[in-house]
Amino acid sequence: MTDFQVTLLIAVGIVVAAYVGLIVVSFRSNSVLKGAARYADSLNVILPERLGLLVGQRLAHRRRANLLGVAAGTILALPIALALPLEGNSLFPAPILLVLAAGFAGGAIGSALGSLQRPPFVDKHAVHVARPQAVGITDYVSKFERRSLWIIVALPIATLMVSTALNATGSATTPILPPGTFSGPLTLLAILALIFSDVVGRRIIARAQPTASDDDLLWDDALRSVDVRGLLNAPTLLGVYATLISVSDLASAALNQEPEGATTILLNTGGFALVAVIVVWALASLVTQPQRHFLRRLWPHYATLTTPAPQYASRVSGQTTQKRSLAHDARG
């Protein structure tokens, strides 16, 4: 094995071990309550103490599914990554991009599977409050997120169409890799993931919401939002990587180089472009706060509140501090 392969193997082992550790920690009641408190603070909405554990358990279940998916995807991609050739001039080697892509995609798939089954707050036969209006997927996912997703999935489709046309007409000076090699299957997976996210998202929203109070209904909406928005991760990541690979195939013709040389150029420029996209996406999320979109649509009164709601988080933090203090006194 080369030094790079050994380093990659060790790095993946450390990352997987860290994720396994996070999964184990997520079962602790204190971790569950803190997760619920952090989510309440991000929404700027008070979480009733009676719902704290239930909301935290649901969030923890989804987080465990995400972490397990990341670990599984990383492990499954490792043998392929170790077999890939290392581009000497690339700042973003293909094996590393493959492992990262598999990990992100695995996490997205894990989150999607973790959101399929979710017990209601109260028994479905109990008396529950009724919602005055019907809801749809646009009440939980903003237009910015949905349109961005469609564009991301459409990009590799457009690139593949151009590549296919160039090959068919013989306009390409250098043969372009056929769509069936790498970019084609990834694009198909992105399309299937997009369809899956839309179908499953609508099924989640169509499920009954047996809740006994407005607080129950609001927090069931909050968890719905987490589940539905989490479904968008898989098609987004698959679309991004399908675009990178399909553009690599196209660049090999545009730059009049063999695919290997064009791939080196793309990995250098595309890697930086991917980082830039992530930064822009993060900044846009900070401004638009997509996690609060459902509040603006369904609970406008809460969406207009500007005063932070740290009461429940403070109680959890205080309980944690008190437990640590008691443990320290016992050891002393």
Q: Is residue 15 part of a domain?
A: yes
Q: Is residue 127 part of a domain?
A: no
Assessment of whether the complete model's pTM goes beyond 0.85:
no
Could you tell me the sign of the dihedral formed by the alpha carbons of 27, 30, 35, 36, in that order?
A: positive
Q: Strand, coil or helix: what is 211?
A: coil
State pLDDT tens for residues 146-188: 888 898 899 888 888 877 777 676 655 444 454 445 677 788 8
Q: How many helices (H) and strands (E) does the chain have?
A: 12, 0
Q: Residue 109's pLDDT band (boundaries 50, 70, 90)? A: confident
Q: Residue 329's pLDDT band (boundaries 50, 70, 90)? A: very low
The angle formed by the CA atoms of residues 231, 234 and 236, to the nearest 5 degrees, is 105
Q: Is residue 330 part of a domain?
A: no
Q: Which amino acid is at 39?
A: Y
Q: Is residue 22 part of a domain?
A: yes
The domain total for the chain is 1
What mean pLDDT comes out for the span 296-319? 59
- Give me the half-sphere count of Cα atoms (radius 13 Å) on the Cβ side of residue 126: 11
Residues 6+ apart with CB under 8 A from 81: 8, 95, 96, 98, 99
CA dist 2 and 315 (Å) reads 52
Look up residue 150 and give its two tokens.
């469609």
Q: Is residue 76 part of a domain?
A: yes
Q: Is residue 26 part of a domain?
A: yes
DSSP state of 138: G
pLDDT at 120: 61
Q: Is residue 94 part of a domain?
A: yes
Of 205, 235, 234, 237, the C-alpha closest to 220 is 205
Q: Is residue 327 part of a domain?
A: no
Judged against a pLDDT cut of 90, whether residue 68 lies above it is answered with yes
State pLDDT tens for residues 20-31: 999 999 999 899
Neighbours of 178 (CB within 10 A): 13
Judged against a pLDDT cut of 50, whether residue 217 lies above it is answered with yes
Least confident of 63-67, 118-122, 230-234: 118-122
pLDDT at 24: 93
State pLDDT tens for residues 182-211: 677 788 888 988 998 888 888 888 887 777
What mean pLDDT comes out for the span 265-273? 57
Q: What secondary structure does DSSP assign to 245-300, as a single string?
A: HHHHHHHHHHTTS-HHHHHHHHHHHHHHHHHHHHHHHHHHHHHH-GGGHHHHHH-H
Domain residue limits at 295: 3-122+136-313
